[in-house]
Structure 1
Protein backbone atom coordinates (compact mmCIF):
# COMPACT_ATOMS: atom_id res chain seq x y z
CA UNK A 1 0.00 0.00 0.00
CA UNK A 2 1.49 3.33 -1.02
CA UNK A 3 1.60 6.40 1.18
CA UNK A 4 -0.96 8.18 -1.00
CA UNK A 5 -3.51 5.35 -0.72
CA UNK A 6 -5.54 5.55 2.46
CA UNK A 7 -7.46 2.83 4.20
CA UNK A 8 -10.70 4.44 3.04
CA UNK A 9 -9.68 3.99 -0.63
CA UNK A 10 -9.36 0.23 -0.27
CA UNK A 11 -12.31 -1.72 -1.67
CA UNK A 12 -14.88 -2.91 0.85
CA UNK A 13 -14.83 -6.70 1.15
CA UNK A 14 -17.40 -8.55 3.21
CA UNK A 15 -18.91 -11.98 3.65
CA UNK A 16 -21.63 -11.88 1.00
CA UNK A 17 -23.80 -14.27 3.00
CA UNK A 18 -23.91 -11.96 6.03
CA UNK A 19 -27.01 -9.79 5.54
CA UNK A 20 -26.09 -7.35 8.30
CA UNK A 21 -22.63 -6.78 6.83
CA UNK A 22 -24.18 -6.27 3.38
CA UNK A 23 -26.64 -3.68 4.65
CA UNK A 24 -24.06 -1.85 6.76
CA UNK A 25 -21.53 -1.65 3.93
CA UNK A 26 -24.16 -0.32 1.51
CA UNK A 27 -25.39 2.19 4.12
CA UNK A 28 -21.81 3.38 4.70
CA UNK A 29 -21.28 3.71 0.95
CA UNK A 30 -24.48 5.76 0.56
CA UNK A 31 -23.36 7.97 3.43
CA UNK A 32 -19.99 8.45 1.73
CA UNK A 33 -21.68 9.47 -1.54
CA UNK A 34 -23.83 12.09 0.18
CA UNK A 35 -21.21 13.50 2.55
CA UNK A 36 -17.90 13.19 0.71
CA UNK A 37 -18.07 12.32 -2.96
CA UNK A 38 -20.30 14.55 -5.03
CA UNK A 39 -22.51 16.53 -2.74
CA UNK A 40 -20.41 17.56 0.29
CA UNK A 41 -23.38 17.78 2.65
CA UNK A 42 -23.09 18.11 6.40
CA UNK A 43 -24.30 15.31 8.66
CA UNK A 44 -26.94 16.22 11.26
CA UNK A 45 -26.81 14.13 14.42
CA UNK A 46 -30.04 15.25 16.12
CA UNK A 47 -31.74 11.90 15.58
CA UNK A 48 -28.86 10.03 17.20
CA UNK A 49 -28.71 12.61 20.01
CA UNK A 50 -32.24 11.65 21.03
CA UNK A 51 -31.14 8.07 21.54
CA UNK A 52 -28.11 9.22 23.54
CA UNK A 53 -30.25 11.40 25.82
CA UNK A 54 -32.59 8.50 26.62
CA UNK A 55 -29.64 6.17 27.31
CA UNK A 56 -27.88 8.79 29.47
CA UNK A 57 -30.95 9.26 31.64
CA UNK A 58 -31.35 5.48 32.02
CA UNK A 59 -27.71 5.06 33.01
CA UNK A 60 -28.11 7.98 35.42
CA UNK A 61 -30.92 6.12 37.19
CA UNK A 62 -28.77 2.98 37.37
CA UNK A 63 -25.78 4.91 38.76
CA UNK A 64 -27.95 6.70 41.30
CA UNK A 65 -29.32 3.34 42.48
CA UNK A 66 -25.78 1.98 42.80
CA UNK A 67 -24.54 4.94 44.85
CA UNK A 68 -27.69 5.03 47.01
CA UNK A 69 -27.40 1.33 47.77
CA UNK A 70 -23.74 1.79 48.70
CA UNK A 71 -24.54 4.67 51.07
CA UNK A 72 -27.65 3.04 52.57
CA UNK A 73 -27.45 -0.77 52.32
CA UNK A 74 -30.35 -2.87 51.04
CA UNK A 75 -33.18 -2.78 53.53
CA UNK A 76 -33.05 1.03 53.74
CA UNK A 77 -32.55 1.55 50.00
CA UNK A 78 -35.39 -0.72 48.85
CA UNK A 79 -37.89 2.03 47.80
CA UNK A 80 -35.21 3.99 45.91
CA UNK A 81 -33.98 0.82 44.16
CA UNK A 82 -37.52 -0.05 43.09
CA UNK A 83 -38.06 3.44 41.61
CA UNK A 84 -34.68 3.38 39.83
CA UNK A 85 -35.14 -0.11 38.40
CA UNK A 86 -38.66 0.68 37.18
CA UNK A 87 -37.45 3.97 35.67
CA UNK A 88 -34.62 2.15 33.90
CA UNK A 89 -36.96 -0.40 32.32
CA UNK A 90 -39.49 2.25 31.34
CA UNK A 91 -36.71 4.22 29.64
CA UNK A 92 -35.55 1.08 27.81
CA UNK A 93 -39.12 0.69 26.55
CA UNK A 94 -39.12 4.31 25.41
CA UNK A 95 -35.77 3.70 23.68
CA UNK A 96 -37.23 0.71 21.84
CA UNK A 97 -40.20 2.78 20.68
CA UNK A 98 -37.88 5.62 19.66
CA UNK A 99 -35.65 3.40 17.53
CA UNK A 100 -38.63 1.58 16.02
CA UNK A 101 -40.95 4.47 15.20
CA UNK A 102 -38.75 7.59 15.11
CA UNK A 103 -35.48 6.32 13.60
CA UNK A 104 -37.13 3.68 11.38
CA UNK A 105 -33.92 2.49 9.76
CA UNK A 106 -32.63 6.02 9.13
CA UNK A 107 -28.86 5.96 8.89
CA UNK A 108 -28.20 9.49 7.65
CA UNK A 109 -29.74 12.92 8.03
CA UNK A 110 -27.76 15.38 5.93
CA UNK A 111 -28.08 19.13 5.56
CA UNK A 112 -27.56 20.84 2.23
CA UNK A 113 -26.71 24.51 2.51
CA UNK A 114 -28.57 27.00 0.37
CA UNK A 115 -26.22 28.24 -2.36
CA UNK A 116 -27.20 31.85 -1.71
CA UNK A 117 -27.04 31.38 2.05
CA UNK A 118 -30.45 32.98 2.54
CA UNK A 119 -32.90 30.09 2.85
CA UNK A 120 -32.80 27.42 5.57
CA UNK A 121 -30.92 24.18 4.90
CA UNK A 122 -32.55 21.45 2.85
CA UNK A 123 -32.74 18.12 4.72
CA UNK A 124 -31.90 14.78 3.08
CA UNK A 125 -32.84 11.63 4.99
CA UNK A 126 -31.60 8.19 3.96
CA UNK A 127 -33.01 4.93 5.28
CA UNK A 128 -32.68 1.37 4.11
CA UNK A 129 -34.08 -2.10 4.51
CA UNK A 130 -32.51 -5.48 3.77
CA UNK A 131 -34.67 -8.27 5.09
CA UNK A 132 -33.15 -11.41 6.50
CA UNK A 133 -32.51 -14.07 3.82
CA UNK A 134 -33.40 -11.60 1.07
CA UNK A 135 -31.16 -10.10 -1.57
CA UNK A 136 -33.27 -7.00 -2.26
CA UNK A 137 -31.78 -3.82 -0.79
CA UNK A 138 -34.28 -0.97 -0.48
CA UNK A 139 -32.92 2.57 -0.29
CA UNK A 140 -35.31 5.38 0.57
CA UNK A 141 -34.24 8.99 0.18
CA UNK A 142 -36.43 11.79 1.50
CA UNK A 143 -35.95 15.44 0.68
CA UNK A 144 -37.40 18.26 2.78
CA UNK A 145 -37.19 21.71 1.24
CA UNK A 146 -35.85 24.13 3.83
CA UNK A 147 -38.02 27.01 2.66
CA UNK A 148 -41.40 25.34 2.04
CA UNK A 149 -40.98 22.36 4.43
CA UNK A 150 -42.52 20.09 1.77
CA UNK A 151 -41.20 16.55 1.77
CA UNK A 152 -40.68 14.25 -1.21
CA UNK A 153 -39.63 10.62 -0.94
CA UNK A 154 -38.34 8.12 -3.45
CA UNK A 155 -37.70 4.47 -2.73
CA UNK A 156 -35.74 2.17 -5.05
CA UNK A 157 -35.00 -1.50 -4.68
CA UNK A 158 -32.11 -3.44 -6.20
CA UNK A 159 -30.50 -6.79 -5.64
CA UNK A 160 -27.25 -6.68 -3.68
CA UNK A 161 -25.79 -8.80 -6.48
CA UNK A 162 -25.76 -5.62 -8.58
CA UNK A 163 -23.22 -4.06 -6.23
CA UNK A 164 -21.08 -6.98 -4.98
CA UNK A 165 -19.04 -9.49 -6.94
CA UNK A 166 -18.51 -13.19 -6.15
CA UNK A 167 -15.71 -12.44 -3.66
CA UNK A 168 -17.89 -10.01 -1.70
CA UNK A 169 -16.16 -6.84 -2.93
CA UNK A 170 -18.36 -3.76 -3.24
CA UNK A 171 -18.29 -2.06 -6.64
CA UNK A 172 -18.57 1.45 -5.28
CA UNK A 173 -18.98 3.13 -8.68
CA UNK A 174 -22.13 1.12 -9.47
CA UNK A 175 -23.63 1.85 -6.09
CA UNK A 176 -22.66 5.52 -6.32
CA UNK A 177 -24.57 5.78 -9.61
CA UNK A 178 -27.60 4.14 -7.96
CA UNK A 179 -27.60 6.69 -5.11
CA UNK A 180 -26.97 9.64 -7.44
CA UNK A 181 -29.80 8.52 -9.71
CA UNK A 182 -32.25 8.59 -6.81
CA UNK A 183 -30.99 11.95 -5.54
CA UNK A 184 -31.06 13.55 -8.97
CA UNK A 185 -34.62 12.35 -9.58
CA UNK A 186 -35.61 14.15 -6.37
CA UNK A 187 -33.74 17.27 -7.54
CA UNK A 188 -35.61 17.10 -10.87
CA UNK A 189 -38.94 16.83 -9.06
CA UNK A 190 -37.92 19.82 -6.90
CA UNK A 191 -37.10 21.97 -9.96
CA UNK A 192 -40.36 21.02 -11.73
CA UNK A 193 -42.51 22.27 -8.86
Structure 2
Protein backbone atom coordinates (compact mmCIF):
# COMPACT_ATOMS: atom_id res chain seq x y z
CA UNK A 1 0.00 0.00 0.00
CA UNK A 2 2.89 2.35 0.78
CA UNK A 3 4.33 1.60 -2.68
CA UNK A 4 1.05 2.55 -4.40
CA UNK A 5 0.88 5.82 -2.49
CA UNK A 6 4.45 6.54 -3.52
CA UNK A 7 3.55 5.95 -7.18
CA UNK A 8 0.55 8.25 -6.89
CA UNK A 9 2.67 11.02 -5.37
CA UNK A 10 5.24 10.49 -8.10
CA UNK A 11 2.54 10.85 -10.76
CA UNK A 12 1.26 14.09 -9.18
CA UNK A 13 4.77 15.51 -9.05
CA UNK A 14 5.39 14.83 -12.74
CA UNK A 15 2.21 16.70 -13.63
CA UNK A 16 3.60 19.81 -11.95
CA UNK A 17 5.87 22.11 -13.93
CA UNK A 18 8.64 23.36 -11.67
CA UNK A 19 11.21 25.91 -12.81
CA UNK A 20 13.94 28.04 -11.36
CA UNK A 21 11.88 31.17 -10.78
CA UNK A 22 14.97 33.39 -11.10
CA UNK A 23 15.80 32.13 -14.60
CA UNK A 24 13.81 34.33 -16.97
CA UNK A 25 14.17 32.16 -20.08
CA UNK A 26 13.19 29.00 -18.17
CA UNK A 27 10.11 30.77 -16.77
CA UNK A 28 9.12 32.07 -20.22
CA UNK A 29 9.54 28.63 -21.80
CA UNK A 30 7.50 26.97 -19.03
CA UNK A 31 4.68 29.51 -19.42
CA UNK A 32 4.82 29.08 -23.21
CA UNK A 33 4.49 25.31 -22.78
CA UNK A 34 1.50 25.80 -20.48
CA UNK A 35 -0.20 28.08 -23.05
CA UNK A 36 0.49 25.56 -25.84
CA UNK A 37 -0.93 22.78 -23.69
CA UNK A 38 -4.14 24.77 -23.11
CA UNK A 39 -4.65 25.49 -26.81
CA UNK A 40 -4.06 21.90 -27.88
CA UNK A 41 -5.75 20.06 -25.01
CA UNK A 42 -8.52 22.28 -23.67
CA UNK A 43 -9.67 23.61 -27.04
CA UNK A 44 -8.62 20.49 -29.02
CA UNK A 45 -6.86 22.51 -31.70
CA UNK A 46 -4.47 20.67 -34.00
CA UNK A 47 -0.91 21.95 -33.74
CA UNK A 48 0.63 23.03 -37.05
CA UNK A 49 4.40 22.55 -37.25
CA UNK A 50 5.05 24.29 -40.60
CA UNK A 51 6.72 27.32 -38.96
CA UNK A 52 9.09 25.05 -37.04
CA UNK A 53 9.64 22.88 -40.12
CA UNK A 54 10.88 25.94 -42.02
CA UNK A 55 13.48 26.63 -39.35
CA UNK A 56 14.53 22.97 -39.27
CA UNK A 57 14.89 22.93 -43.07
CA UNK A 58 17.18 25.96 -42.99
CA UNK A 59 19.23 24.40 -40.18
CA UNK A 60 19.42 21.16 -42.15
CA UNK A 61 20.74 23.00 -45.20
CA UNK A 62 23.38 24.70 -43.06
CA UNK A 63 24.48 21.37 -41.57
CA UNK A 64 24.53 19.81 -45.05
CA UNK A 65 26.82 22.57 -46.36
CA UNK A 66 29.13 22.09 -43.36
CA UNK A 67 29.20 18.33 -43.92
CA UNK A 68 30.12 18.78 -47.60
CA UNK A 69 33.01 21.02 -46.56
CA UNK A 70 34.13 18.51 -43.93
CA UNK A 71 34.01 15.52 -46.29
CA UNK A 72 35.65 17.39 -49.15
CA UNK A 73 38.48 18.50 -46.89
CA UNK A 74 38.88 14.93 -45.61
CA UNK A 75 39.08 13.51 -49.14
CA UNK A 76 41.31 16.32 -50.47
CA UNK A 77 43.50 17.81 -47.71
CA UNK A 78 43.70 21.58 -47.28
CA UNK A 79 45.58 23.14 -50.13
CA UNK A 80 43.53 21.20 -52.69
CA UNK A 81 40.21 21.83 -50.92
CA UNK A 82 40.62 25.60 -50.56
CA UNK A 83 38.11 26.67 -53.30
CA UNK A 84 35.43 24.26 -52.07
CA UNK A 85 35.93 25.36 -48.45
CA UNK A 86 35.59 29.02 -49.42
CA UNK A 87 32.37 28.27 -51.34
CA UNK A 88 30.93 26.20 -48.45
CA UNK A 89 31.80 28.80 -45.81
CA UNK A 90 30.20 31.53 -47.96
CA UNK A 91 27.04 29.47 -48.47
CA UNK A 92 26.93 28.63 -44.76
CA UNK A 93 26.94 32.31 -43.77
CA UNK A 94 24.27 33.10 -46.37
CA UNK A 95 22.04 30.32 -45.01
CA UNK A 96 22.61 31.53 -41.43
CA UNK A 97 21.65 35.07 -42.53
CA UNK A 98 18.44 33.72 -44.08
CA UNK A 99 17.77 31.78 -40.86
CA UNK A 100 18.20 34.96 -38.80
CA UNK A 101 15.77 36.83 -41.06
CA UNK A 102 13.32 33.92 -40.88
CA UNK A 103 13.30 33.81 -37.08
CA UNK A 104 13.11 37.60 -36.77
CA UNK A 105 10.45 38.43 -39.35
CA UNK A 106 8.54 35.20 -39.96
CA UNK A 107 8.49 33.50 -36.55
CA UNK A 108 8.40 36.74 -34.49
CA UNK A 109 8.39 34.88 -31.18
CA UNK A 110 5.52 32.58 -32.19
CA UNK A 111 5.79 29.38 -30.19
CA UNK A 112 2.59 27.63 -31.25
CA UNK A 113 0.43 27.61 -34.36
CA UNK A 114 -2.81 25.66 -33.99
CA UNK A 115 -5.68 25.04 -36.37
CA UNK A 116 -9.32 25.11 -35.27
CA UNK A 117 -11.39 22.85 -37.49
CA UNK A 118 -15.16 22.80 -37.63
CA UNK A 119 -16.30 19.21 -36.96
CA UNK A 120 -19.27 19.66 -39.31
CA UNK A 121 -17.07 21.14 -42.03
CA UNK A 122 -19.25 24.22 -42.62
CA UNK A 123 -17.11 26.94 -41.04
CA UNK A 124 -13.65 27.72 -42.44
CA UNK A 125 -10.55 26.69 -40.54
CA UNK A 126 -9.13 29.25 -38.14
CA UNK A 127 -5.43 29.54 -37.40
CA UNK A 128 -4.49 30.48 -33.83
CA UNK A 129 -1.01 31.78 -33.08
CA UNK A 130 0.54 32.50 -29.70
CA UNK A 131 3.68 34.53 -29.22
CA UNK A 132 5.30 35.93 -26.12
CA UNK A 133 8.23 37.88 -24.85
CA UNK A 134 9.85 38.47 -21.51
CA UNK A 135 12.61 41.05 -21.36
CA UNK A 136 15.84 40.18 -19.62
CA UNK A 137 15.76 41.04 -15.90
CA UNK A 138 12.04 41.88 -16.13
CA UNK A 139 9.06 40.08 -14.62
CA UNK A 140 6.45 41.18 -17.17
CA UNK A 141 5.29 38.27 -19.33
CA UNK A 142 3.58 39.52 -22.48
CA UNK A 143 1.35 37.04 -24.29
CA UNK A 144 -0.13 37.81 -27.71
CA UNK A 145 -2.86 35.55 -29.07
CA UNK A 146 -4.10 36.00 -32.62
CA UNK A 147 -6.68 34.28 -34.78
CA UNK A 148 -6.67 34.32 -38.57
CA UNK A 149 -9.36 33.25 -41.00
CA UNK A 150 -7.42 32.09 -44.06
CA UNK A 151 -10.47 32.04 -46.32
CA UNK A 152 -11.74 35.53 -45.49
CA UNK A 153 -8.28 36.99 -45.01
CA UNK A 154 -9.16 38.56 -41.65
CA UNK A 155 -7.22 38.44 -38.41
CA UNK A 156 -7.71 39.61 -34.84
CA UNK A 157 -5.18 39.95 -32.06
CA UNK A 158 -5.30 40.39 -28.31
CA UNK A 159 -2.53 40.67 -25.77
CA UNK A 160 -2.06 40.72 -22.03
CA UNK A 161 0.87 41.60 -19.80
CA UNK A 162 1.22 40.17 -16.30
CA UNK A 163 3.96 39.62 -13.79
CA UNK A 164 5.31 36.08 -13.83
CA UNK A 165 4.78 36.05 -10.05
CA UNK A 166 1.06 35.75 -10.77
CA UNK A 167 1.57 32.29 -12.32
CA UNK A 168 4.35 30.83 -10.13
CA UNK A 169 4.20 29.96 -6.46
CA UNK A 170 7.04 30.44 -3.97
CA UNK A 171 8.49 27.00 -4.81
CA UNK A 172 8.77 27.77 -8.54
CA UNK A 173 5.77 25.65 -9.55
CA UNK A 174 3.62 26.91 -12.43
CA UNK A 175 -0.06 27.22 -11.43
CA UNK A 176 -1.86 25.95 -14.56
CA UNK A 177 -5.30 27.20 -13.50
CA UNK A 178 -4.09 30.82 -13.52
CA UNK A 179 -2.44 30.42 -16.92
CA UNK A 180 -5.61 28.79 -18.22
CA UNK A 181 -7.71 31.71 -16.97
CA UNK A 182 -5.47 34.19 -18.79
CA UNK A 183 -5.54 32.20 -22.05
CA UNK A 184 -9.30 31.60 -21.81
CA UNK A 185 -9.97 35.32 -21.35
CA UNK A 186 -7.89 36.17 -24.42
CA UNK A 187 -9.47 33.34 -26.41
CA UNK A 188 -13.01 34.36 -25.44
CA UNK A 189 -12.38 38.02 -26.27
CA UNK A 190 -11.11 37.09 -29.74
CA UNK A 191 -14.03 34.71 -30.33
CA UNK A 192 -16.53 37.37 -29.24
CA UNK A 193 -14.93 40.03 -31.47
CA UNK A 194 -15.13 37.65 -34.47
CA UNK A 195 -18.85 37.04 -33.83
CA UNK A 196 -19.53 40.79 -33.56
CA UNK A 197 -18.20 41.40 -37.06
Report the TM range for the smaller structure's normalisation.
Answer: over 0.9
Q: Which residue of 2 aligns with 1:149?
A: 153
> Which structure: greater helix fraction?
2
Match of 1:28 among 33, 37, 54: 33
Give the match's secondary structure for 2:119.
coil
Deviation at 1:6, TM superposition (A): 4.2
Give the match's secondary structure for 2:174.
coil
Written as runs of structure 1 = structure 2, the 5 A alignment for 1:174-185 is: 174-185=178-189
Evaluate the alpha carbon distance shift between residue 32 and residue 9 of structure 1 in structure 2; reply closer, same or farther with a 3 A threshold.
farther
Q: Which residue of 2 aligns with 1:59?
A: 63
Q: How does the TM-score come out when normalised to structure 1?
A: 0.93
Q: How does the TM-score come out when normalised to structure 2?
A: 0.91
Evaluate the alpha carbon distance shift between residue 24 and residue 7 of structure 1 in structure 2; reply closer, same or farther with a 3 A threshold.
farther
Match of 1:169 among 155, 173, 178: 173
Question: Over aligned residues, Cα RMSD in angstroms?
Answer: 1.8
Q: Which residue of 1 aligns with 2:195?
A: 191
Task: Kindly provide the CA deviation profile for residues 31-88 of structure 1, in whole angstroms up to 9, marking residues without a partner as x.
Answer: 010001x201111001011111111111111111112122222222111110001111
Deviation at 1:146, TM superposition (A): 3.5
Task: Kindly provide the CA deviation profile for residues 87-142 of structure 1, in whole angstroms up to 9, marking residues without a partner as x.
Answer: 11111111111111111111000011023214442100000011111111100001
Correspondence 1:71 to 2:72: no
Give the match's secondary structure for 2:7.
coil
Q: Which residue of 1 aligns with 2:3?
A: none
* Stretches of structure 1 lacking an aligned partner (at least 5 in a row): none
CA distance in 2, matches of 1:4, 1:161: 26
